[in-house]
């Protein structure tokens, strides 16, 4: 096995981390199967409707806006669905990540090996915050390439110039904006996933309820007591703000970004909310490592 | 050489219940120590403290390191089976091998493969598909292939049948123990491990009630199957324990002169199990009660 060649690597901390991430992916195959499954469904729908494609392209060339939109939909829906399902998988992955190992007592096996609690927590966090978005992007791009190839072939067989399709799809724009938005959202929502991991390290059961209920209770209390909704706005901003930041003009959540010049990564980097969020995420992950250290199996 | 384990005044309470109540323990390298005690005596707490899984009051050095504060460093040199069946159920055997090889610098893959070849465990099986005995075999194969200086086993054979238990300890002696390594094992099945131990510690209600090498144990304790006519005289020598079996009285003595006892009946070394019962139950409560 090639792993044996890494044995003498001078960075002994990287190796346990690499294997910890791998073992997370062995255990949680939903990380890639869920977006792949969704992509397969979208692809099936696209293939089923592809006999319409030559007519649709003809209408689009004639300037029919509905037809132009219809050409786009499979590409956008495929990418969107793969990403949304990935976020859902990441949420439930985090809620189980430090809870399941205490529940089935496998914690005692993991702890018998020279992998620190912090390394373990970081490997789990990186699956949710780094690996899962990367998988979503890779699946979305792969899906779009297959759809593009198929569409091109269908048009060519029917004697329609495929370039007409390509001109309408604006795929280069999508291929820049998709990873861009995914990176921004991952950075922005990092404290959300860190919070889910913390609950998973702390709660004895019903991690989902413990993750959500305190925030709902706080929002409700604030609404009833003071007739304000700061907590609710805070949650809304932290959960959906990343998407608004990436995909709407000025990050205001109103007009969507439709060309590259409207994207503004520097404004995002200058947003103090990004940095406070990352600091809070780091603190929460340190808390996870401490909890994993001190808590017994359930 | 520095002791493998050195504990002074270990104390640990969970709420009001005291799990460890001032434990002093020294284990030299190359020993096989049996930690024996009733349920709730503090065995697991003591082992968890040694493994840095639990923080205790007192002073505890394992292989010269503070087992709580320096746990991450310690785990390269220490390995343990803390409970039966803690291997993750979703894992495939080959994944377990890959993973341990990946994270442990002292894992000998070839040795683990050799140990597994002696079993019927398939590399492609998931842990959940293996019987309890096979899971233990797999865990032992993984652990024995790690070149650790201290191995801690907490009830490693609980719930296994006799054949697996016997094979487990035979394998531990033949394929793992080399005279330099230190092994600490806790179990209820006292008889089965008696022959492999070099030292034994009895623990009860958080305190160590006996701490001896097996050689010292064999000279210190004697069991007398008293001849009926000498029974009263034997009782006057203050046995620590007496029991009746098939109408005969068996008395256990601590530090008695064996030659003197030999005049009163048959003398032999008591089993650890009998001494355990004798130590755990006050002589007054138990004496004269027929089993």
A105 touches chain B (CB under 8 A): yes
Confidence of residue B259 (pLDDT cuts 50, 70, 90): confident
Contacts 24+ apart (CB under 8 A), B22-25: B22/B58, B22/B206, B22/B207, B23/B58, B23/B203, B23/B206, B23/B207, B23/B208, B24/B208, B25/B201, B25/B208, B25/B211
Task: Answer yes or no: is B211 within a domain.
Answer: no
What integer pLDDT is reported at residue B282 of this predicted model?
A: 59
Does residue B75 sit in the same domain as residue B145?
yes
Helix (H, G, I), strand (E, B) or coil at B120: coil
Helix (H, G, I), strand (E, B) or coil at A256: strand
Does residue B225 sit in the same domain as residue B104?
no
Does residue B97 sit in the same domain as residue B183?
yes
Does residue B128 sit in the same domain as residue B190?
yes
Average pLDDT of span B43-52: 92
What integer pLDDT is reported at residue A4 of this predicted model?
A: 43
CB–CB of B88 and A294 under 8 A? Answer: no
The residue count of chain B comes to 291
Q: Are A19 and B99 a contacting pair, CB within 8 Å? A: yes
Does residue B224 sit in the same domain as residue B269?
yes
Using a CB-CB distance cutoff of 8 angstroms, which residues of chain A are in contact with residue B92? Answer: 26
Say if residue A8's pLDDT is above 70: no
Say if residue B289's pLDDT is above 80: no
| Residue in A1, A15, A105 closest to B83 by CB | A105
CB–CB of B87 and A106 under 8 A? Answer: yes
Task: Answer yes or no: is B212 within a domain.
Answer: no
Q: How far is A85 from chain B (nearest CA, A)?
A: 23
Helices and strands: H and E segment counts in chain B: 12, 14
CB–CB of B86 and A105 under 8 A? Answer: yes
Does residue B173 sit in the same domain as residue B195?
yes
d(CA B283, CA B8): 29
Token pair for A204: 């004895």
CB–CB of B53 and A112 under 8 A? Answer: no
- Per residue in A37-92, pLDDT tens? 999 999 999 999 888 889 898 898 888 888 888 888 899 999 999 999 999 999 99
Q: Which of B158, B181, B205 is the last residue of a domain?
A: B205
The rounded mean pLDDT for chain B is 88
Q: How far is B48 from chain A (nearest CA, A)?
A: 10
Does residue B149 sit in the same domain as residue B12?
yes
CB–CB of B102 and A16 under 8 A? Answer: yes
Give how far the C-alpha of residue A284 lies from the chain's centroid of Cα atoms, to the nearest Å: 19
Higher local confidence (pLDDT), B2 or A231 = A231
CB–CB of B88 and A27 under 8 A? Answer: yes
What integer pLDDT is reported at residue A7 of this predicted model?
A: 46
Q: How far is B72 from chain A (nearest CA, A)?
A: 6
What integer pLDDT is reported at residue A62 of this predicted model?
A: 87
Using a CB-CB distance cutoff of 8 angstroms, which residues of chain B are in contact with residue A291? Answer: none
CA distances A187 to A244, A266, A273, B196, B280, Å, are: 13, 14, 11, 56, 60
A295 touches chain B (CB under 8 A): no
Q: Are A157 and A202 a contacting pair, CB within 8 Å? A: no
CB–CB of B99 and A12 under 8 A? Answer: no
d(CA B264, CA B49): 46
Q: Are B234 and B264 a contacting pair, CB within 8 Å? A: yes
Using a CB-CB distance cutoff of 8 angstroms, which residues of chain A are in contact with residue B85? Answer: 105
List all residues of chain A from 235 to 294 with a beta carbon under 8 Å from chain B: 294
Does residue B265 sit in the same domain as residue B231?
yes
Beta bridge partner(s), residue B8: B59
Q: How far is B213 from chain A (nearest CA, A)?
A: 28
Average pLDDT of span B182-190: 88
Closest CA to A30 of A130, A135, A105: A135
Residue of chain B whose Cα is closest to the Cα of A118: B72
User: Strands, E, within chain B: which ranges?
Assistant: 5-14, 17-27, 32-36, 57-62, 65-66, 78-81, 150-154, 182-186, 199-204, 207-213, 221-226, 241-245, 248-254, 265-268
Task: Answer yes or no: is B210 within a domain.
Answer: no
Task: Answer yes or no: is B291 within a domain.
Answer: no
A101 touches chain B (CB under 8 A): yes
d(CA A42, CA A80): 11
| Residue in A105, A107, A115 closest to B103 by CB | A115
d(CA B90, CA A12): 27
CB–CB of B90 and A26 under 8 A? Answer: yes
A97 touches chain B (CB under 8 A): no
B144 touches chain A (CB under 8 A): no
What is the number of other CB atoms lying within 10 angstroms of the CB of residue A54?
A: 18
Cβ pairs A/B, distance under 8 A: 72
- Per residue in A94-117, pLDDT tens? 999 999 999 999 999 999 999 999
d(CA B279, CA B211): 12
Confidence of residue B265 (pLDDT cuts 50, 70, 90): confident
If one counts the domains in chain B, the total is 2
Token pair for A87: 């976020």
Closest CA to B252 of B227, B283, B221, B289: B221
Structural domain range at position B276: 217-286
Say if residue B284's pLDDT is above 80: no
Does residue B127 sit in the same domain as residue B183?
yes
Does residue B268 sit in the same domain as residue B163?
no
Burial string for A174-199 (b: 16+ CB within 10 Å, else e) reads: bbebbbbbbbbbbbbbbbbbbbbbbb
| B187 secondary structure, DSSP code | -
Closest CA to A193 of A121, A120, A100, A298: A121
Q: Which of B177, B205, B233 is the last residue of a domain?
A: B205
Does residue B160 sit in the same domain as residue B223?
no
Helices (H), A28-116: 30-48, 53-61, 65-97, 100-103, 107-110
Token pair for B221: 């304790």
List all residues of chain B from 82 to 101 with a beta carbon under 8 Å from chain A: 82-83, 85-92, 95, 98-101
Does residue B152 sit in the same domain as residue B14?
yes
Q: How far is B170 from chain A (nearest CA, A)?
A: 23
A113 touches chain B (CB under 8 A): yes
Helices (H), B38-153: 43-50, 71-74, 93-103, 109-117, 132-144
Average pLDDT of span B219-244: 87
CA distances A236 to A219, A239, A244, Å, are: 11, 5, 11
Strand order in B150-154's β-sheet? B78-81, B150-154, B182-186, B32-36, B199-204, B207-213
d(CA A73, CA B107): 53
A9 touches chain B (CB under 8 A): no
What CATH number does the domain containing B200 carry? 3.40.50.300
């Amino acid at each position: 096995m090639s792993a044996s060649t890494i044995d003498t690597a001078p960075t002994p901390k990287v190796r346990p981390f690499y294997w910890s991430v791998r073992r997370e992916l062995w255990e949680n195959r939903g990380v890639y199967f869920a977006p792949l499954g969704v992509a397969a469904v979208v692809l099936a729908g696209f293939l089923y409707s592809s006999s319409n494609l030559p007519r649709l392209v003809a209408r689009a060339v004639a300037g029919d806006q509905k037809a132009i939109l219809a050409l786009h939909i499979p590409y956008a829906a495929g990418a969107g669905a793969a990403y949304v399902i990935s976020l859902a998988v990441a949420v439930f992955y985090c809620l189980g990540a430090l809870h399941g190992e205490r529940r089935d007592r496998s914690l005692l096996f993991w702890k018998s090996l020279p992998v620190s609690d912090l390394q373990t927590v970081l490997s789990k966090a990186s699956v949710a915050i780094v690996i899962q978005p990367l998988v979503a992007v890779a699946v979305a791009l792969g899906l779009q390439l297959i759809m593009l190839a198929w569409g091109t072939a269908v048009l060519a067989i029917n004697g329609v110039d495929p370039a007409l399709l390509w001109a309408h799809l604006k795929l280069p724009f999508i291929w820049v904006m998709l990873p861009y938005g995914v990176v921004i959202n991952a950075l922005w929502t990092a404290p959300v996933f860190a919070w889910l991991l913390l609950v998973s390290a702390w709660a004895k059961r019903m991690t989902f309820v413990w993750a959500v209920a305190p925030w709902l209770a706080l929002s409700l209390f604030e609404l009833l007591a003071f007739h304000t909704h700061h907590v609710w706005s805070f949650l809304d901003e932290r959960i959906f703000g990343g998407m608004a930041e990436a995909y709407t003009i000025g990050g205001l959540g109103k007009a969507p970004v439709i060309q590259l010049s409207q994207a503004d990564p520097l404004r995002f980097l200058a947003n103090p909310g990004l940095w406070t969020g990352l600091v809070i995420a780091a603190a929460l992950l340190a808390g996870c490592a401490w909890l994993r250290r001190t808590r017994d199996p359930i | 050489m520095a002791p493998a384990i050195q504990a002074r005044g270990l104390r640990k309470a969970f709420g009001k219940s005291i799990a460890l109540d001032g434990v002093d323990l020294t284990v030299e390298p190359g020993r096989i120590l049996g930690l024996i005690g009733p349920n709730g005596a503090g065995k697991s707490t003591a082992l968890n403290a040694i493994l840095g899984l639990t923080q205790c009051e007192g002073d505890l050095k394992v292989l010269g390191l503070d087992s709580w504060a320096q746990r991450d460093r310690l785990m390269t040199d220490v390995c343990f089976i803390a409970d039966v069946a803690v291997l993750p159920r979703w894992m495939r055997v080959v994944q377990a091998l890959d993973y341990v090889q990946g994270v442990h610098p002292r894992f000998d893959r070839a040795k683990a493969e050799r140990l597994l070849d002696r079993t019927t465990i398939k590399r492609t099986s998931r842990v959940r598909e293996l019987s309890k005995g096979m899971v233990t075999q797999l865990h032992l194969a993984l652990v024995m292939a790690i070149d650790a200086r201290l191995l801690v086993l907490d009830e490693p054979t609980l719930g296994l049948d006799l054949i697996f238990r016997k094979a487990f300890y035979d394998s531990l002696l033949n394929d793992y123990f080399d005279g330099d390594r230190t092994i600490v094992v806790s179990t209820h099945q006292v008889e089965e491990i008696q022959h492999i131990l070099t030292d034994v510690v009895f623990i009860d209600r958080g305190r160590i009630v006996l701490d001896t090498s097996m050689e010292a144990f064999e000279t210190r304790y004697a069991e007398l199957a008293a001849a009926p006519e000498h029974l009263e005289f034997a009782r006057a020598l203050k046995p620590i324990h007496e029991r009746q079996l098939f109408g005969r009285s068996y008395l256990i003595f601590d530090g008695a002169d064996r030659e003197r006892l030999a005049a009163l009946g048959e003398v032999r070394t008591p089993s650890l199990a009998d001494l355990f019962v004798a130590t755990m139950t006050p002589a007054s409560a138990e004496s004269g009660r027929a089993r």
